[in-house]
């Protein structure tokens, strides 16, 4: 077993380094599969810690800490990519790239895993088993988890357990949010293109109006959720984009609707797709229009393993304090490609609170004003190191 006091002291000692690393990553954000500088920085740090690593999936990195005793293997994952948006914070570590920003806390996730790597590498002789460090690219959008799995990151040695966390501004700083079972939904995407017939706005009878047809489709999609499926089965259908025309007095030829469907079971995912197609087909036919349709089954729903999640609850209570445990009651309708890992391995995905109203740390994820309370970085390191200790050395 690793010494609890030693773990705590080591995490406290590297807090200044954690802040420094996080700010460097934050100032130099890169979007999915373009995280070249971020990847190189991670590699540089792993070399400093004498941790062997390999590069996968363009910009992904897998490090391996071998314990002093044989045993099982735990993998810990951090996503490393940023969002394609401009930062509006006025801070000394503001993004230098106007086309990208760490607005989802991935700079913090990467930093926490680097700190975890440093602490565990210095205590490896007392670890039973191995720890894989998965620095994953492209969580936002293209999805890097599945390609990493296909590249074999869960093999050699075979991974038995996995942990990951996400910084959350809705939970008070240093609180650890945990939930068994359903954690996050499958975030599927659809796109509908309606082809009508253009006409002058003064003579709509000469055309086929894709805007009015599209409006009926948007309203009809909400009918699917509210009137056709059991209210106890979580389901969200949202249209986030409706694009048509460019001038006030011309009925356009086409309209395009983009949206998302959020569910927790595969049967429902396929039923919703089929029902949307049926509805769009019937509405467009009724009004003499044509349509094209694309539906992208994205990430699967994310489920936390019950046994491992309860073990992590004990880790929080025993090492961080029972008052730091935040029991999440309802799953999120957001999506996470970490779900691909959770399909393969016993896994727990946690939320690390960062909300601090005194410091103004209150803005939502994906906001151009999002920031974190950097005091939580050492808390994340402690959580992972204590977790590794409990999982591998119990």
- Convert the pLDDT of each residue in 331-379 to its tens digit: 999 999 999 999 999 999 999 999 999 999 999 999 999 999 999 999 9
Q: Which of 248, 249, 273 is nearest to 260 (CA)?
A: 273
Token pair, residue 13, equals 């000692």
Cα–Cα dist 320/340, whole Å: 29
Provide the whole-model pTM: 0.95
Cα–Cα dist 38/31, whole Å: 10
**Phi/psi of residue 86, nearest 5 degrees:** -95, 135
Residues of the chain with CATH 3.30.70.360: 186-296
Q: Is residue 177 within 8 Å of 164, Cβ to Cβ?
A: no
Using pLDDT thresholds of 50, 70 and 90, give the confidence band for residue 127. Answer: very high
Using pLDDT thresholds of 50, 70 and 90, give the confidence band for residue 230. Answer: confident
Residues of the chain with CATH 3.40.630.10: 4-185+301-393
| CATH of the domain spanning 186-296 | 3.30.70.360
Architecture of domain 4-185+301-393: 3-Layer(aba) Sandwich (3.40)
Cα–Cα dist 325/197, whole Å: 58
Using pLDDT thresholds of 50, 70 and 90, give the confidence band for residue 388. Answer: very high
Cα–Cα dist 335/179, whole Å: 15
For tokens 């949307």, what's the residue?
Answer: 276
pLDDT value, residue 191: 98
Q: Is residue 301 within 8 Å of 339, Cβ to Cβ?
A: yes
Cα–Cα dist 139/149, whole Å: 13
Q: Is residue 300 within 8 Å of 267, Cβ to Cβ?
A: no
Catalytic residue numbers, as ranges: 299, 374
- The sign one gets for the Cα dihedral 264, 265, 269, 272 is negative
Token pair, residue 234, equals 């979580």
């Amino acid at each position: 077993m690793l010494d609890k006091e030693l773990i705590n002291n080591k995490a406290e000692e590297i807090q200044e380094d954690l802040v420094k690393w996080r700010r460097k990553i934050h100032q130099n954000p890169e979007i999915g599969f373009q995280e070249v500088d971020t990847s190189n920085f991670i590699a540089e740090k792993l070399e400093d810690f004498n941790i062997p690593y390999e590069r996968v999936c363009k910009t992904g990195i897998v490090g391996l800490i071998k314990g002093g005793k044989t045993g099982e293997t735990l993998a810990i994952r951090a996503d490393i990519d940023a969002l394609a948006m401009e930062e509006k914070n006025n801070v000394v570590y503001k993004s230098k790239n106007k086309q990208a920003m760490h607005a989802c806390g991935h700079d913090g996730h990467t930093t926490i895993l680097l700190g975890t790597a440093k602490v565990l590498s210095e205590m490896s002789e007392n670890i039973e088993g191995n720890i894989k460090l998965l620095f994953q690219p492209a969580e936002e959008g293209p999805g890097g988890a599945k390609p990493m799995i296909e590249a074999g990151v869960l093999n050699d040695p075979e991974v038995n357990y996995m942990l990951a966390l996400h910084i959350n501004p809705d939970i008070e700083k240093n609180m650890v949010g945990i939930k068994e079972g359903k954690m996050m939904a499958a975030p599927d995407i659809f796109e509908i293109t309606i082809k009508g017939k253009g006409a002058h706005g003064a003579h709509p009878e000469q055309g086929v109006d894709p805007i009015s047809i599209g409006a009926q489709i948007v309203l009809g999609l909400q009918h699917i959720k509210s009137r056709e499926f059991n209210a106890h089965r979580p389901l969200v259908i949202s249209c986030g984009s409706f694009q048509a025309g460019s001038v006030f007095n011309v009925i356009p030829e086409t309209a395009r609707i983009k949206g998302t469907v959020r569910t927790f079971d595969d049967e429902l995912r396929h039923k919703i797709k089929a029902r949307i197609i049926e509805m769009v087909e019937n509405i467009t036919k009724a009004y003499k229009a044509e349509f094209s349709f694309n539906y992208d089954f994205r990430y699967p729903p994310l489920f936390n393993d019950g046994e491992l999640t309860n073990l992590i609850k004990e880790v929080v209570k025993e090492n961080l304090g029972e008052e730091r445990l935040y029991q999440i009651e309802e799953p999120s309708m957001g999506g996470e490609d970490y779900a691909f890992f959770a399909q393969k391995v016993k896994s727990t995905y946690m939320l690390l609170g960062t909300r601090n109203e005194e410091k103004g740390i209150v803005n939502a994820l994906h906001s151009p004003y999002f920031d974190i309370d950097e005091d939580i970085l050492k808390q994340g390191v402690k959580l992972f190191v204590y977790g590794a200790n409990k999982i591998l050395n119990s």
